[in-house]
Amino acid sequence: DDLATGTSWRPGAATRLWQHHALAALDADLQDQFGSGAGIVYRDGPYARAIQDVAAAVGASAVFLTERHEPACRATDEAVQDELEEAGLEVHAASSYLLRVPQGVRIDMSKWSGHFGSLTPFDRACQRLPKLKQPLAPPEALPVARTVQEATEARRAAGSVALEDLGLAAMPRRKDGTVVDWGAPILAAWRPSEAAAL
Distance, in Å, from the CA atom of 105 to the CA atom of 122, rounded to the nearest integer, reads 7
Please give the pLDDT value at position 50: 93
Distance, in Å, from the CA atom of 45 to the CA atom of 5, rounded to the nearest integer, reads 11
- Consecutive 10-residue averages of pLDDT for the chain (198 residues): 57 91 96 91 90 91 90 85 96 87 83 71 88 88 87 90 95 95 94 87
Task: Tell me the pTM.
Answer: 0.81
Please give the pLDDT value at position 113: 66
Which ranges of 35-131 does DSSP label H, i.e. alpha helix?
Answer: 47-58, 71-86, 119-127
